[in-house]
């Protein structure tokens, strides 16, 4: 017989961990207690050594689905023999040290109850338990107790309260616990914002969708605009209402079998669809996809699919499928596909309450399916895609926020405010970093407000006061101004961090690499230390310091930022460099302003240089006639990638690039080759192959010269699978340790985390 004190850390509170320990202890015949405390969960047990060891093992091997066990430590002592039975002891809370869990999809047990006519929660749209349901989006502050959530106003009925108090149930301390008697209620409003009181709101919503209407549906992190994805008129109406002509929509399908009707994917991609974080997963379209879903992802080779994740989603599917009563309807294939797009008119942040919905969705939605459970924090759906051996984030939000990332060092709490596009903020506490949900592009007033709200919210739920502030070098960014004001108001030290340095630092920090790293940062644009626009950079990064070893040869952007949205302008600048400016007006005759552009290039007026790899992609797409004006950010590069994938393998052009003695990588020869290329798919393939070859040679030269073995690949361009996979393969084959973004997106969504890491290292060095 022995006594053991066990400590479990990680995401172990609010996820059913104590009842899990309680059941395990009973099963193993151990006496003792379990409780929450500042650092996680503490357990004291007494019993046969073998059984105690089994307990320690099973804490790690079979934790509850929402838990993430990071560490289990234990100490043995001689048994005092004074523990009787096993109990859940009162929490020992001082200062909050643990985080709240992210929002999770409905679990299999709740789903079974939802469709069980004998269950008291039969068809209850707000069913949840300790294994599932909303968390982050309805919590106002810590500790995570019902009183601190938007469920506070719903007093539990006797039956719910009994479950809540009883460690034997799945609803023991499940803060959002509710039933049809005591929980939130659905409400369906028509276009005039009058409540439709007759009949079942779910059936009425389904009928509206079935007849080609658009319904705004309140979910976990905000409203979605929902319509039948197979109904071309409904989709067209949504596109014109959202003023979103080409950008793809995410589509919800019932299950993996149904997904295979619209996409083709290997097993591991299907598993990603099914995780309880329930992200949108970008997958290759099936052959039948475009015939059925013509205007969902026009011109693209991939489609974003997502499975239902709230009870309401499942109820809608059930209704739209004609209320099947077979037990296995949830597993059967169905062609039913619903557009599920964030209700964020004009790129503003997601709408979360009735007032906002009424203000901004009237005229766009034909009805509003809302409810009285308040969403406290906007949280978009996350988006992931599979890259060779691992999944990469395109957008990290619902399901993942506020999961912490452990830093390789500790220090004072840093607030990092990010950059501009796809912005996030990051707050650190000791060696933990918490990156906010996707906030969006800061050119919208709504997104700026959301940044303010998010900083406030993170400080509350983590119970920290920032002691250091970090921001981008760019003085005009709202995030920079926010950081400066915040630091001034609180008298805090402040650090400006170069954009591409932050990209690379983010990757080093998540992989806990503290040695010098060669960073290849490839993205759209970021302000360089020399005041010019950077975007294709080779950096030697050593913690808080970096040196620019090289960059891509600059291209000219006629008309400045506008050239980033109009690839024909980038193509024109290449033609101009080749003394072929007479072709510009002819090639791009459908574009307005060709003569102005020629004039600008001739007189070097408003011609901004850029080293961005993104602009190289644009130039190639413009020259190959793939894309002249981008319907959305990154469209040209995405179309080019699709064509290259379709074409298949092609050898790189060995004469397609040069590397100068001072480290400048120049792809002008490659672009020249594309000027007269008549096969766009071949051109796209040769472009990818040659860019990968050139970048590899560039990196290898620098790793040899600087005796470096770690290479970090950062920046939004690494969301391009061909580029990313080729570089990882080629560089690893040369014995290098290649690091890529895994816990955060490689794009600007990861900048705040990199800034925090650099500020922390600077502060620790006393800089
Ligand atoms: Zn559940
Ligand atoms: Zn109840």
At 182-214, the pLDDT tens digits run 999 999 999 999 998 888 999 999 999 999 999
Query: Cβ(447)–Cβ(418) under 8 Å?
Result: no
Residues 145 and 231 in one domain: no
Q: What is the pLDDT confidence band of residue 244, given thresholds at 50, 70 and 90?
A: confident
Query: Cβ(300)–Cβ(246) under 8 Å?
Result: no
Q: Give the mean model confidence (pLDDT) for residues 458-480.
A: 95
User: 100 or 498: whose pLDDT is higher?
Assistant: 498
Look at residues 60, 88, 116 and tell me which one is the last residue of a structural domain. 88
CATH number at residue 674: 3.30.420.40
Distance 112 CA to ligand 2 centre (A): 18
List CB-based neighbours of ion ligand 1 within 5 Å. 107, 110, 129, 131-132
Q: In what order do the strands lie in the sheet with 545-552?
A: 658-659, 664-666, 545-552, 533-542, 517-527, 710-714, 737-740
Residues 297 and 203 in one domain: yes
Distance 128 CA to ligand 1 centre (A): 4
Residues 575 and 699 in one domain: yes
Q: What is the pLDDT confidence band of residue 29, given thresholds at 50, 70 and 90?
A: very high
At 579-611, the pLDDT tens digits run 998 999 999 999 999 999 999 999 999 999 999
User: 141 or 434: whose pLDDT is higher?
Assistant: 434
pLDDT, residue 94, reads: 57
Distance 161 CA to ligand 2 centre (A): 7
Instruction: Measure the CA–CA gap between 366 and 454, rounded to whole angstroms.
Output: 31
pLDDT, residue 13, reads: 79
Instruction: Measure the CA–CA gap between 167 and 18, rounded to whole angstroms.
Output: 8
Percent of the chain with pLDDT over 70: 99
CATH number at residue 192: 3.90.870.40
User: 87 or 504: whose pLDDT is higher?
Assistant: 504
541 within domain boundaries: no
Q: Give the mean model confidence (pLDDT) for residues 709-715.
A: 98
Could you tell me the residue range of the domain that residue 209 belongs to?
A: 186-383
Buried b (16+ CB within 10 A) or exposed e, 337-363: bbbbbbbbbeebbbbbebebbbebbee
Query: Cβ(123)–Cβ(206) under 8 Å?
Result: no
pLDDT at 96 over 60: no
500 within domain boundaries: yes
Distance 120 CA to ligand 2 centre (A): 9
| Sign of the alpha-carbon dihedral angle for 101, 103, 105, 109 | positive
Q: Give the mean model confidence (pLDDT) for residues 314-339.
A: 95
Residues 325 and 455 in one domain: no
pLDDT, residue 95, reads: 54
Instruction: Measure the CA–CA gap between 219 and 240, rounded to whole angstroms.
Output: 23
Beta-carbon neighbour count of residue 158 at 10 Å? 9
Instruction: Measure the CA–CA gap between 711 and 511, rounded to whole angstroms.
Output: 12
103 within domain boundaries: no
- The ligand with the least distance to the CA atom of 178 is 2
At 371-406, the pLDDT tens digits run 999 999 999 999 999 998 889 999 999 999 998 899
Percent of the chain with pLDDT over 90: 84
Mean pLDDT lowest for which of 68-82, 217-231, 449-463, 735-749? 68-82
Structural domain tally of the chain?
A: 5
Query: Cβ(419)–Cβ(527) under 8 Å?
Result: no
Which pTM value belongs to this model? 0.92
pLDDT at 39 over 80: no
Which string of DSSP letters, residue by residue, matches 515-567?
S-EEEEEEEEEEE-TTSSEEEEEEEEEETTEEEEEEEEPPEEEETTTHHHH-H
The CA-atom distances, in angstroms, between 386 and each of 105, 421, 438 are: 21, 23, 20
Residues 719 and 586 in one domain: yes
528 within domain boundaries: no
Residues 46 and 131 in one domain: no
pLDDT, residue 99, reads: 62
393 within domain boundaries: no
- How does the average pLDDT of the chain come out, rounded? 94
At 276-304, the pLDDT tens digits run 999 999 999 999 999 999 999 999 999 99
Mean pLDDT lowest for which of 12-16, 66-70, 319-323, 641-645? 12-16
761 within domain boundaries: yes
| Sign of the alpha-carbon dihedral angle for 164, 167, 170, 174 | positive
Residues 261 and 333 in one domain: yes
389 within domain boundaries: no
Q: Which residues fall within 8 angstroms of residue 384, CB to CB, at 6 or more apart?
A: 272, 279, 280, 281, 282, 391, 392, 393, 394
The CA-atom distances, in angstroms, between 497 and each of 66, 101, 400, 546, 683 are: 35, 30, 26, 11, 37
Residues 233 and 349 in one domain: yes
CATH number at residue 56: 3.30.70.100
CATH number at residue 497: 3.30.420.360
Distance 311 CA to ligand 1 centre (A): 10
Residues 669 and 643 in one domain: yes
97 within domain boundaries: no
Residues 581 and 699 in one domain: yes
- The ligand with the least distance to the CA atom of 162 is 2
State both tokens at 334.
């169905």
At 497-554, the pLDDT tens digits run 999 999 999 999 999 999 999 999 999 889 999 998 899 999 999 999 999 999 999 9
Residues 678 and 759 in one domain: no
Query: Cβ(347)–Cβ(421) under 8 Å?
Result: no
pLDDT at 93 over 80: no
Structure letter (DSSP) for residue 195: B
3-state SS, residue 99: coil
Residues 699 and 728 in one domain: yes
């Amino acid at each position: 017989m022995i006594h053991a004190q066990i400590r479990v850390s990680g995401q172990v509170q609010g996820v059913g961990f104590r009842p899990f320990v309680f059941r395990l202890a009973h099963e193993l015949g151990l006496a003792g207690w379990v409780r929450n405390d500042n650092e996680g969960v503490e357990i004291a047990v007494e019993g046969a050594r073998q059984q105690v060891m089994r307990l320690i093992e099973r804490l790690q091997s079979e934790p509850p689905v929402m838990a993430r066990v990071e560490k289990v430590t234990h100490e043995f002592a001689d048994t005092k023999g004074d523990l009787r039975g096993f109990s859940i002891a009162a929490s020992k809370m001082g200062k909050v040290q643990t985080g709240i869990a992210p929002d999770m999809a409905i679990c299999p047990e709740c789903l079974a109850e939802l469709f069980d006519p004998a269950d008291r929660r039969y068809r209850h749209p707000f069913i949840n338990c300790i294994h599932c349901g909303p968390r982050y989006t309805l919590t106002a502050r810590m500790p995570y107790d019902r009183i601190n959530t938007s469920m506070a106003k719903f007093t539990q009925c006797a039956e719910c309260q009994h479950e809540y108090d009883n460690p034997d149930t799945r609803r023991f301390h499940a803060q959002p616990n509710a039933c049809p008697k005591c929980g939130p209620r659905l409400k369906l409003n028509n276009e005039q914002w009058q409540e439709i009181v007759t009949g079942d709101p779910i059936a009425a919503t389904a009928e509206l969708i079935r007849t080609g209407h658009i319904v705004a549906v309140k979910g976990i992190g905000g409203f979605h605009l929902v319509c039948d994805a197979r109904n071309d008129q409904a989709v067209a109406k949504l596109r014109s209402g959202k003023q979103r002509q080409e950008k793809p929509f995410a589509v919800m399908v019932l299950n993996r079998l149904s997904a295979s009707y619209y996409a083709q994917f290997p097993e591991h991609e299907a598993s990603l669809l099914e995780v309880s974080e329930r992200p949108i997963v970008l997958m290759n379209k099936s052959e039948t996809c475009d015939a059925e879903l013509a205007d969902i992802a026009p011109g693209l080779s991939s489609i974003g699919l997502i499975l239902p994740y709230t009870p309401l989603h499942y109820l809608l599917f059930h209704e739209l499928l004609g209320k099947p009563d077979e037990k296995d309807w949830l597993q059967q294939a169905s062609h039913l596909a619903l557009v599920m797009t964030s209700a964020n008119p004009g790129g503003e942040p997601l709408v979360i309450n009735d007032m906002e919905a009424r203000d901004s969705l009237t005229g766009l939605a034909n009805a509003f399916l809302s409810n009285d459970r308040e969403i406290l924090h906007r949280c978009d759906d996350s988006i992931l895609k599979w890259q060779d051996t691992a999944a990469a984030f395109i957008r990290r939000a619902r399901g993942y926020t506020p999961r912490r990332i452990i830093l390789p060092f500790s220090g004072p709490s840093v607030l990092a405010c990010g950059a501009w596009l796809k912005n996030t903020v990051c707050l650190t506490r000791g060696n933990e970093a918490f990156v906010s949900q996707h906030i969006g592009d800061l050119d919208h007033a709504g997104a700026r407000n959301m940044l303010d709200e998010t900083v406030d919210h993170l400080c509350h739920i983590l119970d920290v006061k920032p002691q250091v502030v970090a921001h981008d070098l760019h003085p005009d960014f709202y995030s920079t101004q926010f950081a400066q004001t915040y630091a001034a108001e609180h008298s805090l030290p402040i650090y400006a961090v170069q954009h591409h340095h932050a990209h690379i630092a983010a990757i080093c920090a998540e992989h806990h690499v503290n040695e010098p790293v060669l960073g290849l940062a490839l993205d759209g644009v970021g302000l360089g230390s020399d005041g010019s626009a950077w975007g294709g950079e080779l950096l030697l990064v050593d913690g808080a310091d970096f040196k620019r070893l090289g960059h891509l040869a600059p291209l000219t952007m006629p008309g400045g930022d506008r050239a980033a949205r109009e690839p024909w302008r980038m193509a024109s600048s290449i033609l101009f460099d080749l003394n072929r400016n007479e072709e510009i007006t002819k090639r791009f005759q459908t574009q307005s302003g060709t003569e102005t552009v020629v004039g600008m290039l001739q007189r070097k007026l408003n011609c901004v240089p850029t080293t961005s790899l993104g602009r190289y992609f644009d130039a190639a797409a413009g020259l190959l006639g793939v894309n002249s004006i981008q319907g959305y950010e990154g469209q040209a590069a995405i179309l080019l990638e699709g064509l290259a994938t379709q074409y298949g393998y092609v050898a790189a052009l060995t004469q397609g690039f040069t590397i100068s003695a001072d480290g400048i990588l120049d792809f002008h020869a490659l672009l020249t080759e594309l000027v007269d290329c008549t096969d766009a798919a071949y051109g796209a393939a040769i472009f990818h192959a040659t860019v990968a070859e050139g970048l590899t040679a560039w990196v290898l030269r620098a790793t040899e010269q600087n005796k470096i073995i770690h290479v970090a690949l950062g920046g939004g361009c690494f969301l391009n699978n061909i580029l990313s996979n080729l570089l990882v393969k080629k560089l690893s084959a040369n014995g290098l340790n290649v690091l890529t973004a895994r816990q955060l997106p490689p794009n600007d969504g990861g900048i705040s985390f990199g800034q925090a890491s650099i500020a922390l290292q600077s502060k620790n060095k006393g800089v």
